[in-house]
């Protein structure tokens, strides 16, 4: 089963909507994990240590750090980058499909962008 971490800036309305649709989803917030103050590279290292795919809105820095850490030899579980260019309902729909149908190898060492279409 895939495991997820939402970062400290992730829209909790989207997270709650996803959990309502997939109540057995293994997902925690950065706050609950005690990593809400971590800088992006440290947060990504934490996801690697705990085998959790990061769900974030941070399109400015996260892709850069993923590339940098993977280039240095670290294996990351991956990132789902949710761009807020669609309605919350659409984002929840796409996230639900992604997290319930995805396999670890779909995300490993990569950034997966949502929504599928605006």
- Domains, the chain, ranges and CATH? 3-114 (3.40.50)
Q: What is the pLDDT of residues 81-94, one digit of tens each?
A: 999 888 999 999 99
- What's the confidence (pLDDT) of residue 17? 96
Q: Rounded to two decimals, what is the model's pTM?
A: 0.96
Q: Which long-range contacts (CB under 8 A, 24 or more apart) does 70-75 make?
A: 70/109, 74/44, 74/45, 74/48, 75/48, 75/108, 75/109
């Amino acid at each position: 089963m895939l495991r997820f971490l939402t970062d400290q800036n992730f829209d909790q309305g989207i997270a709650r909507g996803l959990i309502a649709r997939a109540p057995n989803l293994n997902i925690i917030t950065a706050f609950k994990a005690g990593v809400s103050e971590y800088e992006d590279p440290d947060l990504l290292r934490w996801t690697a240590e705990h085998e959790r795919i990061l769900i974030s809105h941070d399109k400015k820095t996260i892709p850069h750090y993923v590339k940098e850490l993977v280039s240095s030899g670290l294996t990351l579980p991956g990132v789902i980058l949710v761009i807020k260019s669609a309605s919350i309902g659409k984002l929840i729909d796409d996230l639900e499909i992604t997290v319930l149908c995805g396999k670890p190898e779909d995300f490993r060492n990569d950034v997966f962008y949502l929504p599928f279409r605006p």
